[in-house]
Amino acid sequence: TGMITLDPGYKNTGSCESAITYLDGEQGILRYRGYSIEDLADKANFLEVSYLLVFGELPTQDQLINFENDIRKYTLIHEEMKDIIDGFPKSAHPMGILASLTSALTAFNPRPVNVSSEKEIYNAVCKTLAKFLVLATWVHRKREGYPLSYYDNTKGYVENFLHLMFAIPTEPYKENPIIVDALHKLFILHADHEQNCSTSTVRIVGSSHAGLFASISSGVSALWGPLHGGANQAVIEMLEAIKNDGGDVEKYILKAKDKDDPFRLMGFGHRVYKNFDPRARIIKKAADEVLDALGIDDPVLDIAKKLEKVALEDEYFKSRNLYPNVDFYSGIIYRALGIPSEMFTVMFAIGRLPGWIAQWIEMRSGGEPIGRPRQIYVGENLRSFVPVDKR
Ligand code: CMC
**Which value does ipTM take for this structure?**
0.97
Q: State whether the beta carbon of 274 lies less than 6 angstroms from ligand 1.
A: no
Strand-pairing partners, residue 324, are: 268
Looking at the predicted structure, is the pLDDT value of residue 2 above 70? Answer: no
Q: Yes or no: say if 300 and 236 are a contact pair by the CB < 8 Å rule.
A: yes
Look up residue 106 and give its DSSP letter. Answer: H
Q: Which atom of ligand 1 is nearest to the CA of 272?
A: 29
This prediction has a pTM of: 0.97
Angstrom distance (rounded) from CA 310 to CA 245? 17
Q: State whether the beta carbon of 269 lies less than 6 angstroms from ligand 1.
A: yes
Q: Yes or no: say if 207 and 326 are a contact pair by the CB < 8 Å rule.
A: no
- pLDDT value of position 144: 93
Q: Give catalytic status of residue 7 as yes or no.
A: no
The percentage of residues in the chain with a pLDDT greater than 90, rounded to a whole number, is 97
Strand-pairing partners, residue 29, are: 24
Marked catalytic residue, from 140, 270, 277, 314: 270
DSSP string, 257-285: H-TTS----TTB--SS-SS--HHHHHHHH
Phi and psi angles of residue 369, each rounded to the nearest 5 degrees, phi first: -70, 165
pLDDT band at 169 (very low <50, low <70, confident <90, very high): confident
**For the packed helices 344-365 and 94-108, what is the interaxial angle rounded to 10 degrees?**
40
Q: Give catalytic status of residue 327 as yes or no.
A: yes
Q: Yes or no: say if 276 and 28 are a contact pair by the CB < 8 Å rule.
A: yes
pLDDT in tens, 273-310: 999 999 999 999 999 999 999 999 999 999 999 999 99
Q: Residue 334 CB: number of other CB atoms within 10 A?
A: 24
Distance 23 CA to ligand 1 centre (A): 18
Q: State whether the beta carbon of 268 lies less than 6 angstroms from ligand 1.
A: yes
Angstrom distance (rounded) from CA 25 to CA 196? 13
Distance 267 CA to ligand 1 centre (A): 9
Q: State whether the beta carbon of 271 lies less than 6 angstroms from ligand 1.
A: yes
pLDDT band at 224 (very low <50, low <70, confident <90, very high): very high
Angstrom distance (rounded) from CA 36 to CA 133? 26
Average pLDDT, the chain: 96
